[in-house]
Amino acid sequence: QTTYRPLETEEASEQAVSDEPPMYRVLLLNDDFTPMDFVVQILMQLFGLTFDQANAVMLEVHHYGRGVCGEFTREIAETRVSQVNQIAREHEYPLMCVMERAE
């Protein structure tokens, strides 16, 4: 005799194992010296934003202190943060880029 039981979906199983990598938010922080157009250029060149998107993020940072450039896997986020900070230092601007764990 065969007993049947419902197929267990991953969601219903006791401990679903996520196959998605943890994501990290890359943020820009405000300062009083970095020129607005420099920030916009960085956002377009390193984060692939359009001019309008870049302008919106830059203004968000300018008005609220921080703004999100994007969410990435850890390695990509680390690379973007380094690139922003290096370019800013080359131009002797105090622009700060950081990352934090996203959900």
The yes or no reply on residue 28 touching ligand TYC (CB under 6 A) is: yes
User: How far apart are the C-alpha atoms of 80 and 101, rounded to whole Å?
Assistant: 15
Dist CA 87 CA 45 (whole Å): 11
Q: Among residues 48, 28, 23, 34, which one has the least CA distance to residue 98?
A: 28
Report the side by side order of strands in the sheet with 66-72.
66-72, 24-29, 96-101
Is there binding between residue 39 and ligand TYC (CB under 6 A)?
yes
SS3 at position 14: coil
Binding residues for ligand TYC, rule CB under 6 A, total: 13
**Applying CB under 6 A, does 27 fall inside the site for ligand TYC?**
no
- Kindly state whether residue 40 participates in binding ligand TYC, applying the rule CB under 6 A: no
> What's the closest the beta carbon of residue 30 comes to ligand TYC, in angstroms?
5
61 binds ligand TYC (CB under 6 A): yes
> Least distance in Å: CB of 55 to ligand TYC?
10
State the residues that interact with ligand TYC by CB under 6 A. 28-32, 34-36, 39, 58, 61-62, 95
